Structure 1
Amino acid sequence: MMKLDFSNMMESRIGERGISIGAIEDMEHRIKEIDRKLKSDRSEGRLQFMELPYKNVDEIISLANEEATKYENFVLIGIGGSSWGSIALHTALSHPYYNLLPASKRNGRPRFFVIDNCDPDETAGLFDIIDMEETLINVVSKSGTTPEPMANFVKCYEMMKRSVGKAYAEHFIITTDEGDGDGVLRRVAEREGIRCLEIPKRVGGRFSVFSPAGLFPAAVSGIDIKEVLNGARHMDEACKKPDIWDNPAYMFAVLEYLAIDKGYNISVLMPYSRKLRYFGNWYMQLWAESLGKEHDRDNNTVNAGSTPLKAIGAADQHSLLQLFNEGPFDKVITFIRVESYENDVSLPAVFRGWNELEYFGGHTLGELMKTEQFATELALTNHMRPNKTIVIPAINAFTVGALMYFFELVTTVMGELLNVNAFDQPGVEEGKRLTYALMGRRGFEREREEIRAKMGEEEKESESLVIYME
């Protein structure tokens, strides 16, 4: 059974730095108002991500199974919401050394690669180890205009045509916004005869993991996406109660909101499993892009949000825990505790008489991992640092799907509490526009001239502010 333990957030555990029962009770009326609003928005189709777990995915599975047997390599081209969900699912639910397994131990599935940046060394390095003739490329972009994946797409398009000739279109699958053909990727797909999967129009990229954007790559790797959606549906039901004390998503959001009021503006997610390391990246994008807003819905300047940070237990006990325990009182730590690991490694009783080593005998690495988590939780609590723990029975398709839906809902509720639009990203779009201008995209000539003029002025002003590192 999954559960949220927030005992160590409370005044009763960490004194005045904690949250009082009364503070939570004061939020009950507001949460019930938010509950009514979310249910109304959902019924009117404004929260389409909530409906994704209920979609039929038979066609996705059929296509993935058909394509998986044809190729040695699967390459996902995307960035942000078009890649983090897929990476998180694959890393959590596949063998930790999946690409190094022989094909027979991958059930004939292709190796899994991701190009999620415009780093030339990384992209060129991938071209060194894959044969285009043995590769299926899934280009994922909701808008079809994001510079990084589109640059990688045009390069792969050129290489694929050169490698396989007229059959190049068979080696691509495009996942983009559903619509009437107005998106550039959809137009490319239609002109080139490339198959196309659709992301619902009212589902943003960072909320698209339960759409073909996240599910198709997972299904190609053999992940049970129906069970992923079962987990999401289970969490949807678990979070329908309007009472804050019975709804884990509402309670989680309220605790984070109240913590911000107490000066805790960094939200740390610390799973005790390497399998969930990229789940942390997925969470960071979801939280940061949704909640980090300059203006609220009433156009007041609020500069809202808290900064998400991922840490991995137990490794980051040896990099970040010193700061967490003794640094500024500005962080809330959320642990993800795994009750049972898929595998365990027994530790032998060797080096008898050596106190520093013999105590491992009769224990397991899984036992050590859980002990490390509890010890870190205890140390933070002793230092009066607010922390809470999500406990999951195991890491599997069901629990990962449930966790992802949980954090999507928590983020949505936080948007309501902060009175910001959790589904736009004006700060990201500005960076895109500036990139278009500097790279010479037509239609951005005015912006390009403005940038050049400003850069020239700033260069003159900052000539004395440069130190050469020679």
Structure 2
Amino acid sequence: MITLDYNNMLRPRLGGERGIDPARLQELGERFREIHADVERRREEGELGFYQLANAGELVDQIEAFANGVGQAFENVVVLGIGGSALGTIALRNALRDPYWNELDDDGREFFPRLFVLDNVDPATIAAFLRRVELRRTLFNVVSKSGGTAETMSQFLIVREALEAELNEGYRRHLLFTTDPERGVLRQLADAEGISTLPIPPNVGGRFSVLSAVGLLPAALVGIPVRELLEGAREMDERCRTDELTRNPAGLFAALQFLADRELGAPIQVMMPYSDRLRDVADWFRQLWAESLGKQTSLTGEEVFVGPTPVKALGATDQHSQVQLYVEGPFDKTITFLVEQNPAEDVQIPSLYGDVGELGYLGGHTLGELLRTEKEATEEALRQRGRMNMTLELPTVDARAVGGLLHLLQIATVYAGALYGVDPLDQPGVELGKQLTYGIMGRQGFEQVGADFAAREEKRREWTV
């Protein structure tokens, strides 16, 4: 079972005036009951569609049928997507497949395909990848709910041209669209050209879509047991149905981070896995937390300019780059450790140079012991300096545990939105940037945006060195 140890978030553990007063957490319990009831109502009304994904058995049947059929005809699967259309897939691949998956031979991958995710439009990366990949052996999964994402659609146009040039009419077999079931340009193209599709539910936003076809299809293609992912999500869902704050792990995570930010001046919230396999969960969480909670306007229309700043770190690597700041810098941070209780693999440290003090003590231990000890040492160093920290511990990094962890963090995000009084499902700041891009690039319907940009005040030369 996933556990949340929040001892070191509380004042009795940190000493002095640092940390959250347990009485304040208890006071928040009544407000949480109201929030929980409202979330349950919105869930039942279908507004929070990600809750329904764990029980989407028919979709899983469809995904597995594709993965076990057409999908296994390819040596490479390439996801074209960005943000929520990519980060979850990267997190699943790196948590649940070999860390060198794409470098393994066919036997090493048990004849499952390699999985690449192109989540940016840097021309150097795209050009290099297209020079390397064999198009005839590759399936391109284009992921965009709207079909209007400039980055993803640019990638698609480049790939579409390359596929048709090499395969003529056979290009269709090498494309799969994951998109809205009824609307958008990808849906129109799929219907017109006979390209296979999988649906993204209309009530599921991109950053909440990892347990939809967005993440499950690529996962299934490389042999990740997607039913176990959803089973873990269902188990976590049951744990989070209680309206008792101190028994609801998602509610606790949200409440602790909220109190740390709004009442204790700690808006910087670091997620620090002590596991290479979980490092990209922190990347996925950064988008989820930042895009959902960083808002100018509250639900009542007031200007509030709220939102914590999520930061990614990695143990033990960042003990040698960031932890100095965390231990002795401003008291403006919380640290959430992600750890694995029972790693599937360990490596023995040989007992060599026993007479050399700097080396001898390591012999007879394992790398797993060293990593656990470094986490415990960092946790204690932070505690002794009055720095708030907590630990999310997975029993092991497997599909069930990862599914539970992702679902916990999604639910926590919705609770946190209610605590901050903002809508965790929209992203108006992102939309502004998109509209400016459309106008500058000449998209039809955004001519005025482009004209306004062209007429903006020029930057001053004297302010550039």
TM-score after normalising by structure 2: 0.98
| Contact 1:68 1:108 survives alignment (8 Å) | no
Aligned to 1:413: 415
Aligned to 2:396: 394
Compute the displacement of 1:342 (Å). 1.7
Compute the displacement of 1:442 (Å). 1.1
Aligned to 2:383: 381
Compute the displacement of 1:251 (Å). 1.1
Amino acid at match of 1:362: G
- Take 2:300 and 2:354, find their aligned partners in 1: how far apart are those partners? 69
Give the number of aligned pairs.
461
Q: Which moved more, 1:405-414 or 1:102-111?
A: 102-111
- Take 2:26 and 2:2, find their aligned partners in 1: how far apart are those partners? 24
1:394 is paired with a residue whose SS is coil
1:199 and 2:197 are equivalent in the alignment = no
Q: Which of 154, 159, 162 pairs up with 1:159?
A: 162
1:303 is paired with a residue whose SS is strand
- Take 2:279 and 2:158, find their aligned partners in 1: how far apart are those partners? 30
- Take 1:398 and 1:122, find their aligned partners in 2: how far apart are those partners? 33
| Contact 1:67 1:220 survives alignment (8 Å) | no
1:403 and 2:405 are equivalent in the alignment = yes
Q: Which runs of structure 2 are paired with 1:241-320 in the superposition (5 Å)? A: 241-260=242-261, 261-320=263-322
Amino acid at match of 2:215: G
| Contact 1:233 1:402 survives alignment (8 Å) | yes
Amino acid at match of 2:236: M
Aligned to 1:372: 374
- Take 1:412 and 1:392, find their aligned partners in 2: how far apart are those partners? 22
Where do 4+ consecutive residues of structure 1 move more than 6 Å? none
- Take 2:425 and 2:363, find their aligned partners in 1: how far apart are those partners? 51
Compute the displacement of 1:163 (Å). 1.0
| Contact 2:2 2:405 survives alignment (8 Å) | no
Q: Which of 170, 173, 186 pairs up with 2:173?
A: 170
Compute the displacement of 1:29 (Å). 1.0
Aligned to 1:189: 190
Aligned to 1:106: 109
- Take 2:128 and 2:376, find their aligned partners in 1: how far apart are those partners? 41
Aligned to 1:97: 100
Amino acid at match of 2:82: I
Q: Which moved more, 1:37-46 or 1:80-89?
A: 37-46
Q: Deviations over 1:69-95 (max 9, x none)?
A: 211111000000000011100000000
Compute the displacement of 1:296 (Å). 0.4
1:168 is paired with a residue whose SS is helix
1:173 is paired with a residue whose SS is strand
Q: Mark the runs of 5 or more structure 2 residues left unpaired by the alignment.
A: none
Amino acid at match of 2:4: L
| Contact 1:68 1:109 survives alignment (8 Å) | no
Residue identity (%): 46
- Take 1:310 and 1:39, find their aligned partners in 2: how far apart are those partners? 31
Aligned to 1:6: 6
- Take 2:425 and 2:258, find their aligned partners in 1: how far apart are those partners? 18
2:242 is paired with a residue whose SS is coil
Aligned to 1:29: 30
Q: Which runs of structure 2 are paired with 1:31-70 in the superposition (5 Å)? A: 31-56=32-57, 57-70=60-73
2:107 is paired with a residue whose SS is helix
2:198 is paired with a residue whose SS is strand
- Take 1:355 and 1:154, find their aligned partners in 2: how far apart are those partners? 60
1:128 and 2:131 are equivalent in the alignment = yes
Aligned to 1:71: 74
Amino acid at match of 1:14: L
1:69 is paired with a residue whose SS is helix
Compute the displacement of 1:36 (Å). 0.8
- Take 2:181 and 2:382, find their aligned partners in 1: how far apart are those partners? 47
Compute the displacement of 1:68 (Å). 3.3
Compute the displacement of 1:282 (Å). 0.4
Please give the root-mean-square deviation of Cα atoms over the aligned residues, in Å: 0.8
Q: Which of 108, 113, 119 pairs up with 1:116?
A: 119
| Contact 2:275 2:340 survives alignment (8 Å) | yes
- Take 1:450 and 1:138, find their aligned partners in 2: how far apart are those partners? 36
Compute the displacement of 1:67 (Å). 2.9
| Contact 2:72 2:221 survives alignment (8 Å) | no
Compute the displacement of 1:356 (Å). 0.8
| Contact 2:10 2:388 survives alignment (8 Å) | yes
Amino acid at match of 1:28: G
Aligned to 1:355: 357
Compute the displacement of 1:170 (Å). 0.4
- Take 1:267 and 1:137, find their aligned partners in 2: how far apart are those partners? 35
| Contact 2:145 2:178 survives alignment (8 Å) | yes
Compute the displacement of 1:159 (Å). 0.3
- Take 2:181 and 2:334, find their aligned partners in 1: how far apart are those partners? 38
Compute the displacement of 1:44 (Å). 1.3
Aligned to 1:216: 217
1:275 is paired with a residue whose SS is helix
Q: Deviations over 1:336-366 (max 9, x none)?
A: 1211112100111111211111111111111
Compute the displacement of 1:458 (Å). 2.3
- Take 1:256 and 1:277, find their aligned partners in 2: how far apart are those partners? 20
Amino acid at match of 2:161: E
Q: Deviations over 1:206-225 (max 9, x none)?
A: 00011101100110111000
- Take 1:95 and 1:123, find their aligned partners in 2: how far apart are those partners? 24
Amino acid at match of 1:338: E
Q: Deviations over 1:109-158 (max 9, x none)?
A: 11111110010011011112101111100000111101111100000000
| Contact 1:290 1:422 survives alignment (8 Å) | yes
Compute the displacement of 1:382 (Å). 0.9
1:226 and 2:227 are equivalent in the alignment = yes
Amino acid at match of 1:141: S
Compute the displacement of 1:62 (Å). 1.3
Compute the displacement of 1:445 (Å). 0.9
Amino acid at match of 1:345: V
Q: Which of 143, 148, 151 pairs up with 2:146?
A: 143
2:176 is paired with a residue whose SS is strand
2:78 is paired with a residue whose SS is strand
1:384 is paired with a residue whose SS is coil
Amino acid at match of 1:347: I
| Contact 1:346 1:364 survives alignment (8 Å) | yes
- Take 2:435 and 2:341, find their aligned partners in 1: how far apart are those partners? 46
1:333 is paired with a residue whose SS is strand
